[in-house]
Structure 1
């Protein structure tokens, strides 16, 4: 009888050690998986969230906070549809300082992404800005230093843009242009087209 109890105790100890080791391996595998998660994937998951819960909030480099839905995610940018406002905004991922969202959405966004978006992953911030150039849309560029520039983007390079300055909401006409600026992308907190045209 004593031997039976001894073997049962040894069996229980071995089983407990095995479970503890398996739990440690599972935890380590999860930590390794999470170390490979990028912000872009979490935002892509946020774009498909349940809209019956409060929308996320986005704090940007100039101190502006937008509450709204993720409308699109590219290689290095995010499109947001602010709640209660017309149109959308574009923000480089580097200008996002913090994102607030319900805890359930936060946990869901850390799960593995289902499927990929190869086209969106190749669409850079410059690519989207070049589309605004092509459409000749008037924009307001809000810079990280807090000062806005209103006008029309004439050219968008790999890491900067040229903007012709004119009054917000007016068309780019030669007599309306008051100046020109070259703006590096790293200086941009967000961009708002002056029309409610789709961003992407």
Structure 2
């Protein structure tokens, strides 16, 4: 009788040890999966949600997430009467409120340069906010490898030779957000 109890006890201990081993492996696997999740993957899963982002040099911006690229996100600003788009560089994000736990790991192909070229083609006047809180207004003339050229003119004027007060080159590394005017 004692041998039966001993074997039952050993078997119960083995089952408990195996159960704990499986739980530990599952927890390790979950932590490893989470460690591979990038902010862009979470943003991409939440397109259509209203988010509150804090942007270096700008402060809080609230808007509906419209699109996400590998290094930028596009918000329709909910704080303004007129619908305004804000292109925010992810490197300038200080925090994001309103994300769910969902993840979308599909590749996002439209680079910042491609997004800026689309704005440049529209010839829409923009305001570029830098990471120190300053801003420049004008029309994007050229989108280059690591910077853009901005023709400076008044916000309420179209880009015409007579209205241009000069051109300034702005490195992407200095940009935190760009708004169409």
**TM-score computed with the length of structure 1 as normaliser:** 0.83
Check the 8 A contact 2:64/2:76 in 1, yes or no: yes
Higher helix share: 1
Q: What SS does structure 1 have at the residue aligned with 2:162?
A: helix
Equivalent residue for 1:76, pick from 71, 74, 82: 71
Whole-Å Cα distance in 2 between the matches of residues 15 and 75 of structure 1? Answer: 47
- Which residue matches 2:55? 60
User: Helix, strand or coil for the counterpart of 2:145?
Assistant: coil
1:122 corresponds to: 109
Does the 8 A contact of 2:62 with 2:79 survive in 1?
A: no
Provide the residue aligned with 1:152 in structure 2: 139
Residue 191, structure 1, aligned to residue 178, structure 2: yes
The Cα of 1:32 is off from its aligned counterpart by 1.6
Secondary structure class of the residue paired with 1:89:
strand
Matched pairs, number = 179
Distance in 2 between residues matched to 1:3 and 1:81, nearest whole Å:
73
2:42 paired residue number: 42
Alpha-carbon displacement from aligned partner over 1:68-109 (angstroms, at most 9, x marks no partner)? 22110012111012224222100111111111226xx1xx23
Partner residue of 1:5? 5
Aligned partners of 1:140, 1:160: CA distance in 2, in Å?
15
| RMSD over aligned Cα atoms | 1.7
**Residue of 132, 138, 141 corresponding to 2:125:** 138
Gaps of 5+ in 2: none
Structure (1/2) with the larger strand percentage = 2
SS at 1:37 equivalent? coil
Q: Which runs of 5+ in 1 are unaligned?
A: 195-200
TM-score, scaled relative to structure 2: 0.91
